[in-house]
Each structure stands twice: as structure tokens, then as C-alpha cells.
Structure 1
Amino acid sequence: MEFDRVQTIASLSFDKEAIPLEFIRPEKEQPAITTFRGLAPEIPAIDLSDPDQEKLVGLIADASKEWGIFQVINHGIPSGVIAELQGAGKKFFELPQEEKEVCARPPDSKSIEGYDSKLQKDPQEKKSWVDHLFHRIWPPPSINYQFWPENPPSYREVTKEYAKYMRDVVDKLFTTLSLGLGLEGHVLKEAAGGEQIEYMLKINYYPPCPRPDLTLGVVAHTDLSAITILVPNEVPGLQIFKDDHWIEAKYIPDALIIHIGDQIEILSNGKYKAVLHRTTVAKNRTRMSWPVFLEPPGELVVGPLPQFINKDNPPKFKTKKFKDYTYCKLNKLPQ
């Protein structure tokens, strides 16, 4: 099957101190104007191996309520496995355009899986400075290897290895988040889909940009997932909206960045907060990130858990199938 050729950001000329107009964000979004420059609080960093379970639960619950995001260290995924994942992803995006398009998203696809360079459906038709690859990595029945690169040859093996380690981290996060709400440890994971939760890997590739002050890699949003587990490279760029300021996330080698997504906010009836975040780009360096979105299966009905609803706390969100929530979110329709 042949796919329409798309002009990617990586093929643009970077020798001019200018970028196409469609990449320039409105002033209220431009990083040079809106990034907080003062002394800002740092995103909580939490040791996931802390033997004091009560302390760990409290730290993660507090971060999820106040920030909607935190970083974890000593999470159990070997640094070598993370390095191999990053190396394989980097090699893929350095391939010639024709080779990347072998696993391109078909133009008529209703799924987001595949290689593409047009992530944002912005009402102003502004473009974001990013190329990306999406594909599911777990559970096995949900995987479509059509969208897994065969080049570099190591890609599939290292991605499978990463997914294997990721499962233990996912279970610990769901358990801890449940306990932090006063629930039994299994409740949140089961409510989000249990063993049918789909792990959607996305690789973001943000090439050098001549005017990083004017554009964004990804515009401000919350994730439609339950939880997002992200590995960045060493180039900063993730920003969090906190206390009316855009705050840059500190890079911690080998840490995982944990985002609370929309579905956990819904299940907790707003007790945990989905984090509003965006991505900036760099002038002379390539930024990359590897988020894994933990998503309920499409037919699963998600809504506020009954434990959090009473006469004083009515449901803050509608109950609906995840696929319907996704459709509304991606098409910017009311939920």
C-alpha cells in the first residue's frame, strides 16, 4: 500500500532565522512570553522503591491531587533498557523519509497508530513542531505490527523488552493511586480496564527549530489516557501549568515522568487532577520523548466511581464509553 507523501518538519530548511507562519503560535502561547522565569517549585520526585508503603502512598496521592504529575526514580526498569529504547527510536527518526513512511498512518485511518507529522487538529490550523510514531505495545491482542518499524532491526526486540518491564510499574502505580484514595489496591486498575488496558507508545521527535520562542512542539492539553508514563531525552521542553504559570520540568536521568490523565480524574471524580502540559522545542538540539498512554479499551464505560458520589458530591463528569470520550476529545467536541 502506498501512502501520501507528507512534508515533515525534518525536511524543512533550518538555515533561515524564520519559520513558516503556520507554526507561529499566538502571543498568549509563545514560550518566550509565557514561560515562568522566576524561582518555581519543582515537580515532585518520588522513590518508587521506598519500603515505607504509607509514605509512598501519601507522596503519590499528594502529587496527583496538587500537581497531576510527578517523577519516579528506582522504578525497576533498567537504565540499559531505557537507553536501548531511546537509541532505537532515534535511529528510526534519522531514517530517510521513504523508510519512515513504510509504517505511516493511512490517510483514511480512524486510528492514530502509525508514523505521522500532523498531530494537532487546531481550529486555527496552526501546526506543531513535531513528528511522531504511535503504536500499541500491550496487550498482545491489541498489537498491530504493521506500525512497528522493522528498521532499525533492534526496534521490535527492545520495545517488547521495555513493555515487559513497564507492566510492573503500571501495576504499582495503579495500586498506589488506589490506596491514596482510600480504595482497595485493585479498584482503579479494574475500573480503567484491568488486563485489557492498552499501552499506546508514542515517540515524539522535535527537530531543531530556528525560532523556538515562537512555536510549540505540542500545544497545551491534558492526556485522554488514565495514566501516561513518559521517558524524555536530556533536552528540556516539558512544561506544566501550575498556579497560573508555565513551569519547566527538571530533567532527571532515568526517571519516569508520570502524568495523571483524564480517565483517572474522571474515576476519582476530580480528586486526582489531569495535568495541563505542553512541549517547547530547542534551537540547536533535537528533543525526543517516549510516552506510554495507558488507555481503557474502547468499549469500556468510564465514569466517576460510586465511592466518590453522594448528595454533597455529585458527579463532575459524564459516564461514557472510552471510544466516545476519545472521539469528542480529538475532535474538540463537548464531553
Structure 2
Amino acid sequence: MGVERVQDIASLSKDEIPAEFIRSVDEQPGITTVHGEVLEVPTIDLADPDEEKVLQAIVDASRDWGMFQIVNHGVPVEAITKLQAVGKEFFELPQEEKEVYAKPPGSQSVEGYGTKLQKEVEGKKAWVDHLFHNIWPPSAVNYRFWPKNPPSYREVNEEYAKHMHGVVEKLFKSLSLGLRLEGHELKEAASGDDLVYLLKINYYPPCPRPDLALGVPAHTDMSAFTILVPNHVQGLQAFRDSHWYDVKYIPNAFVIHIGDQLEILSNGKYKSVLHRTTVNKEHTRMSWPVFLEPSPDFVVGPHPKLVDHENPPKYKTKKYGDYVHCKLNKIPQ
């Protein structure tokens, strides 16, 4: 008897869902979502010739929202479409083929195919299966967790990683200048060229009771920031003014989440965004976040240039790997 995957549970669920997927009343999307209103998260056109305006928009959104969407980001539509196609194909393989890539029991890394990511509060489960693997730098890549099927999977993901670099550089530079640091300093403080690009594929099967379940419960990302592309099925929600709102879907845009490490590095000037995912009754939702993370042994804390007598450090300085361990195991930081 293998691990129970949500994809299997979904195929057996007709009108109801197992009790462990039913969220508490203060989390149920049917009750806690502001219905009929879509959150107009800032959308930033990276191709706008007014670079000062783009820079300011990125800084304002990172400070006031912790999230924004970018369009005309320079990543070819074809690269995104192919990434989504091979990921979808993998999740549609027979279960035993996917289990070959299962996260090994007791592994310290998140890499691999799985269902449970972190310690579950009150034993509640999320309506999602996932696949994690690093896509950059080459030294951090472990091909054991890259599907061999479909055959083009590796090529497509390596191509996508290449296209990510430009977006990552642009965002780090803007965010760095926004803190009145030199353009290169923020990325360096997040481990520079050792920065890990961790891809996650989220697979949210259709759910008979989308009003009661969550794909991913409320969280902030551990990363410096996250570059996410969803499929067309609505599901991303952000917490704003004490309420949950759907985030508008824009085809081929990237959703950017400011993560915990940028909040720490900026000593609280930028805010990591609290977000969650809802599921759909008829359709499978998928998303492909790339988490930009410091390497595990790299020490992260408020940037020395942003700390003085007036501005004492608001966060502890620690190895990124230790930060991840605490967060996934719900240990106070």
C-alpha cells in the first residue's frame, strides 16, 4: 500500500471529500472569500521604456502588496507553453510511473514527487500533489527527480531555466535599487550566483467540495521571491485588508511573490505576501512556481547597510537551510 495521493482520492470522490480535507470554518474558502470581486494586483509592463516608472512600480508593489504580476517579461510564450505541457503530461502518467520520483522518506530536501510538504496543523490535508526539483545552478540539480517521461521534459525545463535568468536579474536589480543599495548588492546578499532556482509543479485535481477544501493553505513563501505561472483555472488568492480575494488571471503573465528572505534582507521594507490556493469542481488547476532561494548553508539576515541605531534588526540572522527546517516543521524562528 503506497502513500495516498490526492489524485487517487479525487478520482474516487463523488459528492463529498474525506474529513481531513475539510478546513476549519475560519479557513473554508466558501465562507472566507470575498465573492464577486477580483483583486487588481499591480500589473507591471517590463517593456515600458520609462525605466524609472517600472522601478518605482516594482518597489511600491513589493512594499504595499508583496505581490505583483509582470507582462512583457521577455520569456517567450512558447517556453511557458512547453513547460506547462510537459508538466501536465507527467501528472497524467500512471501512478506507478510517478512514484519512481517520490521524495525519499526522511529526505532533508523537498525535491521529489509528493503530497505532504510540511507539518499539517490539526491533521488537515491540502488538496494537491506536487513535484519539486532544482533547475539551476547545475551544481544544485539532481536529475534523479526529473521525469524521464515525457522525453522532452529535461530539455524544456533547462530551456525555461535559461529564460528565467533575465527576469531574476531585472527584479533583483530593481529591488536592490529600491532599498538604495547598489544594483548588485541584494542578489549578493541572497547568495549571488549560488542562488537556487527551485521549481515546484502543483497539481490540484477537481474537487467535489471546493467550498470546504484548500489546494494550499495560507502561507508566505520561504524564498527571496517566487516567479509563478498558473494554468487558466482560477485559484490564487491573496490576503488583503483582512479578507481573502481571488487574484486576477492574466494569460502568460508571471505572478511575483515577495518571500520571507526578501522581507528579512530588507529589514521589513518589503513584505512577503500571505496567499493560498482554492480548487475547482470541474477542472484541474496547475501552477509552476520557481522559488529563488539562497543556497542552504548561506547565512541570511537584514542587510548590514539597512541596519543602524534608528533601524535595529527586526529579524534573526541564520542559515537558510535552518530557516526552512523551522518553517516546514512549524518551529518558531
TM-score, length-scaled by structure 2: 0.98
Question: How far off its partner does 1:122 sit?
Answer: 1.3
Question: Where in structure 2 are the equivalents of 1:175-254 lying within 5 Å?
Answer: 175-254=173-252
Do the aligned partners of 1:131 and 1:205 also contact (CA within 8 Å) in 2?
Answer: yes
1:121-169, CA deviations, whole angstroms, 9 ceiling, x for partnerless residues? 2121111000000000000000000000000111111000000000111
Question: How far off its partner does 1:15 sit?
Answer: 5.1
2:7 alignment counterpart: 10
Aligned partners of 1:283 and 1:39: how far apart in 2?
20
2:64 is matched by which residue type in structure 1?
E
Runs of 4+ in structure 1 off by over 4 angstroms are 38-41
Deviates more, 1:83-92 or 1:312-321: 312-321
2:314 alignment counterpart: 316
Aligned partners of 1:288 and 1:38: how far apart in 2?
22
1:23 alignment counterpart: 21
Aligned partners of 1:9 and 1:105: how far apart in 2?
15
Q: Secondary structure at the match of 2:264?
A: helix
2:115 alignment counterpart: 117
Do the aligned partners of 1:14 and 1:209 also contact (CA within 8 Å) in 2?
Answer: no
2:298 is matched by which residue type in structure 1?
L
Match of 1:325 among 323, 326, 329: 323
Do the aligned partners of 2:279 and 2:285 also contact (CA within 8 Å) in 1?
Answer: yes
Do the aligned partners of 2:99 and 2:113 also contact (CA within 8 Å) in 1?
Answer: yes
Aligned partners of 1:119 and 1:322: how far apart in 2?
17
Q: Secondary structure at the match of 1:293?
A: strand
Deviates more, 1:259-268 or 1:32-41: 32-41
1:93 alignment counterpart: 91
Match of 2:102 among 90, 104, 114: 104
2:157 alignment counterpart: 159
Aligned partners of 2:116 and 2:328: how far apart in 1?
13
Question: How far off its partner does 1:39 sit?
Answer: 4.2
Match of 1:307 among 292, 305, 324: 305
Deviates more, 1:179-188 or 1:90-99: 179-188
Aligned partners of 2:77 and 2:86: how far apart in 1?
14
Question: Where in structure 2 are the equivalents of 1:58-69 lying within 5 Å?
Answer: 58-69=56-67
1:45-75, CA deviations, whole angstroms, 9 ceiling, x for partnerless residues? 0001122111111000000000000000000
Match of 2:270 among 258, 269, 272: 272
Do the aligned partners of 1:120 and 1:127 also contact (CA within 8 Å) in 2?
Answer: no
In structure 1, the gaps of 5 or more residues are none
Question: How far off its partner does 1:290 sit?
Answer: 0.1
Deviates more, 1:286-295 or 1:105-114: 105-114
Question: How far off its partner does 1:118 sit?
Answer: 1.5
1:203-238, CA deviations, whole angstroms, 9 ceiling, x for partnerless residues? 000000000000100000000000100000000101
Aligned partners of 2:120 and 2:7: how far apart in 1?
21
Question: How far off its partner does 1:9 sit?
Answer: 1.3
Aligned partners of 2:316 and 2:93: how far apart in 1?
44
Aligned partners of 1:39 and 1:150: how far apart in 2?
42
CA RMSD of aligned residues (A): 1.1
Question: How far off its partner does 1:119 sit?
Answer: 2.3
1:168-187, CA deviations, whole angstroms, 9 ceiling, x for partnerless residues? 11011100111111111101
Identity fraction in percent: 65
Aligned partners of 1:216 and 1:105: how far apart in 2?
22
Deviates more, 1:48-57 or 1:260-269: 48-57
Do the aligned partners of 1:132 and 1:205 also contact (CA within 8 Å) in 2?
Answer: yes
Match of 2:135 among 116, 134, 137: 137
Q: Secondary structure at the match of 1:240?
A: strand
TM-score, length-scaled by structure 1: 0.97
Question: How far off its partner does 1:41 sit?
Answer: 4.3
1:107 is matched by which residue type in structure 2?
P
